[in-house]
Amino acid sequence: MLEMIEKIKATTEFIQKSVNFKPEIGIILGTGLGGLVNEIDIKHVMPYETIPNFPVSTVEGHSGKLIFGILGGKNIIAMQGRFHYYEGYTMKELTFPVRVMKYLGIEKLFLSNASGGVNPDFEIGDIMIINDQINLLPDNPLMGKNYPELGPRFPDMSEPYDKGIIKTAIETAKRLGIKCQTGIYAAVSGPCFETPAEYVRMRNSGCDAVGMSTVPEVIVARHMSIPCFAISIITDLGVPGKIVEVSHADVIKVANEAEKKMTVLLRELISSL
Ligand code: HPA
């Protein structure tokens, strides 16, 4: 069986042979947020199932393609559809594409997701710029053998999200008249949404929003020293007195509605970097 590092190199080589494109920025698009793709001047598309060693996405609302093109004047690679722990992937499998994007040459990673807001000041449809994270998943993608070529055994996590990009994003949002919250995102395994008691516990543990993604990818990106920037769409509220029944369809509906402003913000942010 191939070691992870050999798989990363083999997959990178396969992609480079197929597309001959050097991306500067990697983008991972979350639930109901694939519409940014319409803004990309697309040069190549690779469905995940055609890429050796790539996991294949299973969840509704995630179509599963690697897209190469130009956005805001920059060469980007976008993952339309990501992998989640609740689908049964290991943390190493679901973060494998981030490793490959680094080897393809990305210098920054942008991520989006949908989450439940636990900050009582938040409203459904708000955009939250993530400024820190809490890993409440029962695992870590860096467990097991460390490859010094990828990063250190004990990576620093003092700046999971790049302060400079956050500052530019807040200024860009202001200029565009887009209301933005900032806050801490906690990742849980799902797939069930939280009980009212669990939402209260999340709030008490210091987070503003809770979701089922992003944290593993950011850990792996920071292991490789890639600056990260992430936006969460608040699709439902885990705030006492405001908790109602929530479904995946509701999450996708709100995400789709908020997608337009997130797309404009990301495009303008990328072009200003
Ligand atoms: N909890 C966890 N994940 C989520 C939620 C939530 O309330 N909303 C969207 N993703």
Report the alpha-carbon distance of residue 190 to residue 227 in Å, rounded: 27
**191 prior amide bond cis, ω within 30:** yes
pLDDT for the residue numbered 180: 95
The CATH class, in words, for 4-272 is: alpha beta
What is the Å distance from ligand 1's center to 136 Cα? 13
What is the Å distance from ligand 1's center to 213 Cα? 10
> What type of residue is 186?
A
Residue-range domain boundaries for the chain: 4-272
pLDDT for the residue numbered 165: 98
pLDDT in tens, 104-121: 999 999 999 999 999 999
pLDDT for the residue numbered 252: 86
pLDDT for the residue numbered 250: 84
Closest atom of ligand 1 to 117 CA is 7
Q: pTM of the prediction? A: 0.94
Pocket flag, ligand 1, residue 236 (CB < 6 Å): yes
pLDDT for the residue numbered 57: 63
- Joined together, the tokens standing for residue 272 give 């200003």
**Residue whose structure tokens are 């908790």:** 243
Closest atom of ligand 1 to 251 CA is 9
Q: Are 118 and 208 in contact (CB under 8 A)?
A: yes
In the chain, which residues have pLDDT < 70? 57-63
Pocket flag, ligand 1, residue 210 (CB < 6 Å): yes
Top mutation candidate among 246, 253, 254 for ligand 1, by most atoms within 8 Å of CB: 246
Angle at 115 between CA 109 and CA 118, to 5 degrees: 125
pLDDT in tens, 150-183: 999 999 999 999 999 999 999 999 999 999 999 9
